[in-house]
Each structure stands twice: as C-alpha cells, then as structure tokens.
C-alpha cells in the first residue's frame, strides 16, 4: 500500500489529453477473440491490472495471447474449445473477468475450473451469476455465494432468464453460455446495462435480437441468442475509457478556470449517464461523436469550470452512471444544495462498499452525507482538505478523493494510491500534465 498526499491545484487545469482504453471493451475484445475462430489484433488496451487478469486467464485456457507492443496484443482464438483442466484461474480484483468466465466456461463439456479472486473480489456476490446460468443447466458451485467458484462444463440448453438486477456482467455471462447451448436463450434485465457484449458479438457474426424487456422496446432490455453459434475473430481498436475520463472532467468542473479536453473517448450512450448528470448540475460540457469504431461511438469531450448545483439520480439512471456515482458525490460536495442518489444498492457490492466509502471520504472532508441502504444525500458545502481517506483498495474511491483534493485549500491523503493501477495507472501523471 502506498500512501500519497494529493495537493490542491495551484492554478487551473488545462490541456488536451487521452485516457487509457475502455476496460469493459478491452475485457471483451480479449476474451471473445480468445473464444473465436482465427486470430485478431486488439489495440488500445489499457495497462491496468483488470485487463491483465483477463489476458492471463485466457492464456491459461489455451488461447494465444502475444504482446506486440505496450497496448496491443495478437489473440489466437480457440473456436470455443478451451483446455479442459486449467485448474485455478486467478481473476484478482476483476469482477468482469470472473463473471464473464462463468458464462464462457459453463458450456465447455468436460472442463473443471476454479475461479479465485483477491480479498475484495472474494466478498462480491457470485450467486447472481451462478443461478441464472443454472437455468441453462450449468454446474457452478460458489463458496456460500462467493468466490472460489467451481465450474464443471456441461451440456447447456437454451432458457429464458430474468435478472433481478441490471448487470452487464451477468447479462454477458448468460449470453456467452447461450451461444454454446442448444436452442434459444433470452436474458431480460429490469433496466438496460452497458451493451458492449451485444455490439462486439454482432461484429463477430452472432445474430442477436435486442429489444425492450416487454419484447418491444420498453422497460429494460431483452437479448436473445441461439446456439450453438460460432464467433469470427475481429480486430478491435479500444477507445478511451469514459469512466477514466470522468475523473478529469469533474476535476475541470470544480477547479476554477479549468478547461480540459479528452480525445478518442468512447461515447456509447449506455456509459454516459454521468455527463447528463453533470449537465443538469450546470457544468459546461461539450461532447461530439467523431467516428464509429468497431460499432462503438467515439469522440471528444470538453469540460470547463462551472458553478454547480445539486442533482438527483433515481433507479432508472443508475445503470448508466454506476461506476461514476462516487465521483458525482464528490462533485455534489462542491455544489449548492443537497444531491440525492437512490436505487443504487449495487454500489454496496462493488470493489468496496462504495456507499460507505464515499460517505466516509466526504465525511472526512467535513461534508455531511446522509446514508441510505440504496444511496446517499450529499449536503454541498466547502469541503476541507487536510483529511485522510481510506480507499479500501478501491481504485475509484482513490481517484474520487484525489479529484476532491484538487479543489480544496489543503491536500488530502489517500492510504492506497497504488489502487488506481486497476483501471488508470497513468492517473496521477495525466493530472500532472494538466497542471495539477
Ligand atoms: C461492467 C459492468 C458493471 C460495471 C463494471 C464493469 C462490465 O458491473 O460496474 O465496472 O464490464 O460489464 P455490473 O455488471 O455488476 O453492473
């Protein structure tokens, strides 16, 4: 663990930067190509630990993962036939690696694998993926609902599965299992989560039917696939991660005089809830889609310092803002009024309990936060520096605290600055480049 004190910005943050490749797309680009026919070049990979966990897992399952440069790999696919005895697969801190693998491996007849993770991942719920997969006939044993998770691959049969919570990881696991099962599998979510799996599988030649939870276009989302299906490997250029960009944009919005532009960032609408919230807060944000890359919108976002007002986020907006809610709470601490987030109980089962961790972070800075089971209310004010913040090893809590520090009059100390390496190892360097 490395303690680090982040100093207030001495002046405005200014500049044009790019951010590491999108973590969600990178996991899928590596994993799905490793399951595909042929080979593919994946460029723009983030150097964070999470995607490295997926690469190591796929190599351990027999896929060819050849590093070509700092951010690119050549993946040789296994055409949906993996090594049968990979033993223990260490997913480290990555929930996406573990949950997607559950779906991918459930249909591998004769395979016996155990997925393990670090202390944080071992606390996160896994029944939510094991139970829907069991509807297709999967044999997945959790350890009292958690990792280690043992998967014994077998014959799967298509089924209709309704998820209790919107989760792109669980939805993706069911789709990946459905591709290997006999017949039609449909997964229905109560609200639409990020859709990178659907977009990439389409690009790989899979016929997916996507509609509303009612089968037409309303109330969440329903995705249908028919198996058995094959995946054709496809080259992927991973766009910049909006969830990493968000930290720089909020920093620009709260440090007086700032203007920050991020180029080459993913602008998939299922990921941009935080931009809508920031705009409602009165933030000066410009955003333009410049291209469609591999079926995903990519473009530029600029944020300038603005006087912010309070916001509300209700359950229907949670899936599109989920990873940015701790950061939006930091923005709320600098805004006029009381900001309220509800319907976000999912935050309790992320890399840390992000409701408790966010409340403690802001509390240490003298900001009143009312805590609910499913959210929080931040009373905007004048956050004070000089605080010490516990990150609980959670990259997004560490970066949220650092952003808050930039707009205080004294520094803020985080106990585990290294945790940013999970998604954005270059975070402190990029901030320095912007003048922090
Ligand atoms: C992710 C989905 C989300 C998100 C996570 C990445 C993905 O989790 O919070 O950081 O890549 O599918 P859930 O599926 O649990 O909502």
User: Which pLDDT belongs to residue 216?
Assistant: 63
Query: Quick one: average pLDDT of 266-279?
Result: 98
Question: Is residue 207 located within the same domain as residue 262?
Answer: no
Is the CB–ligand 1 distance for residue 341 below 6 Å? no
Ligand 1 neighbourhood includes 94 CB (under 6 angstroms) = no
Q: Is the pLDDT of residue 74 over 80?
A: yes
Give the number of other CB atoms < 10 A from CB of residue 183: 13
Is there a single domain that holds both residue 165 and residue 222?
yes
Report CA-CA distances (Å) from 96 to 23, 108, 117, 179, 224.
9, 19, 11, 18, 21
Rounded mean pLDDT, 274-303: 97
Residues paired with 202 in a beta bridge:
none
Once rounded to an integer, what is the mean pLDDT over residues 180-195?
97
CA distance 218 to 192: 10
**Ligand 1 pocket: which of 169, 171, 198, 394 to mutate (most atoms within 8 A of CB):** 169
Of 79, 36, 39, 85, residue with least CA distance to 61: 85
Q: Are residues 289 and 204 in the same domain?
A: no
pLDDT confidence band for 220 (50 / 70 / 90) = confident
Give the catalytic positions in this structure. 323
- pLDDT of 382 over the 80 cut: yes
Last residue of a domain, one of 237, 271, 301: 237
Same domain, 210 and 275: no
Q: pLDDT tens, 408-436?
A: 999 999 999 999 999 999 999 999 999 99
Q: In this structure, what is the dihedral angle of CA atoms 176, 177, 182, 188, given to the nearest 10 degrees?
A: -80
Q: Does residue 423 line the site of ligand 1, with CB under 6 A?
A: no
Distance 333 CA to ligand 1 centre (A): 25
pTM: 0.97
- Distances from the Cα of 199 to the Cαs of 110, 273, 292, 307, in angstroms? 30, 19, 12, 37
pLDDT tens digit sequence for 303-346: 999 999 999 999 999 999 999 999 999 999 999 999 999 999 99
Q: Give yes or no for residue 83 having a pLDDT over 80.
A: yes
Range of the domain at 164: 23-237
Among the atoms of ligand 1, which is closest to the Cα of residue 24?
A: 11
CA 412 distance to own-chain centroid = 25
The pLDDT of residue 237 is above 70? yes
Domain count, the chain: 2
Burial class of residue 154, CB neighbours in 10 A (0-12, 13-18, 19+) = middle
Q: Which of 49, 96, 243 to mutate to test the pocket of ligand 1 (most atoms within 8 A of CB)?
A: 96
pLDDT band at 217 (very low <50, low <70, confident <90, very high): low
Q: Please check whether residues 366 and 230 belong to one and the same domain.
A: no
Helix, strand, or coil (residue 167): coil
Contact predicate 398/412, CB 8 Å: no
What are the pLDDT digits (tens) for 204-216? 999 999 998 776 6
Q: Which pair of structure tokens corresponds to residue 112?
A: 């016996």
Q: How far is the CA of 169 from the centre of ligand 1 (A)?
A: 5
Distance 98 CA to ligand 1 centre (A): 11
Q: Are residues 212 and 311 in the same domain?
A: no
Measured by CA distance, the residue closest to atom 3 of ligand 1 is: 168
Intra-chain end-to-end CA distance of the chain, in Å? 23
């Amino acid at each position: 663990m490395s303690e680090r004190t982040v100093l207030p910005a001495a002046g405005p943050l200014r500049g044009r930067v790019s951010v590491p490749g999108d973590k969600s797309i990178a996991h899928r680009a590596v994993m799905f190509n490793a399951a595909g026919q042929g080979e593919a070049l994946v460029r723009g990979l983030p150097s964070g630990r999470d995607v490295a966990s997926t690469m190591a897992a796929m190599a351990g399952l027999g896929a060819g993962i050849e590093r070509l440069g700092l951010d690119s790999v050549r993946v040789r696919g296994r055409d949906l036939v993996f090594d049968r005895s990979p033993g223990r697969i260490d997913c480290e801190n990555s929930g996406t690696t573990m949950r997607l693998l559950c779906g991918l491996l459930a249909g591998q007849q004769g395979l016996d694998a155990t997925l393990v993770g670090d202390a944080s991942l071992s606390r996160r719920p896994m029944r939510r993926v094991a139970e829907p997969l069991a509807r297709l006939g999967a044999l997945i044993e959790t350890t009292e609902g958690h990792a280690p998770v043992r998967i014994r691959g077998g014959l799967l049969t298509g089924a209709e599965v309704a998820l209790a919570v919107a989760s792109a990881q669980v939805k993706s696991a069911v789709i990946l299992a459905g591709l290997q099962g006999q017949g039609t599998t449909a997964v229905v979510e109560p609200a639409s989560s990020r859709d990178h799996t659907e977009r990439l599988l389409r690009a790989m030649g899979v016929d997916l039917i996507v509609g509303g939870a009612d089968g037409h276009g309303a109330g969440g989302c329903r995705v249908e696939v028919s198996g058995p299906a094959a995946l054709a490997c496809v080259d992927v250029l991973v766009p910049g991660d909006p969830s990493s960009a968000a930290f720089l944009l909020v920093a620009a919005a709260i440090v007086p005089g700032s203007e920050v532009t991020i180029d080459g960032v993913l602008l998939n609408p299922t990921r941009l809830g935080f931009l809508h919230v920031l705009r409602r807060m009165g933030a000066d944000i410009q955003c333009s889609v410049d291209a469609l890359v591999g079926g995903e919108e990519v473009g530029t976002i600029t944020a300038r310092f603005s006087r912010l007002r309070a916001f509300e986020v209700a359950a229907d907006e949670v899936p599109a803002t989920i990873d940015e809610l701790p950061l939006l709470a930091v923005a709320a601490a600098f805004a006029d009024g009381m900001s309220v987030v509800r319907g976000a109980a999912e935050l309790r089962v992320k890399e840390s309990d992000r409701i408790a961790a966010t409340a403690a972070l802001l509390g240490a800075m003298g900001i009143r936060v009312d805590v609910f089971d499913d959210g929080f209310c931040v009373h905007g004010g004048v956050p004070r520096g000089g605080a010490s913040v516990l990150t609980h090893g959670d990259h997004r809590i560490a970066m949220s605290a650092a952003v808050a520090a930039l707009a205080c009059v004294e520094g803020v100390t985080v106990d585990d600055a290294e945790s940013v390496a999970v998604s954005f190892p270059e975070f402190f360097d990029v901030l320095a480049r912007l003048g922090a």
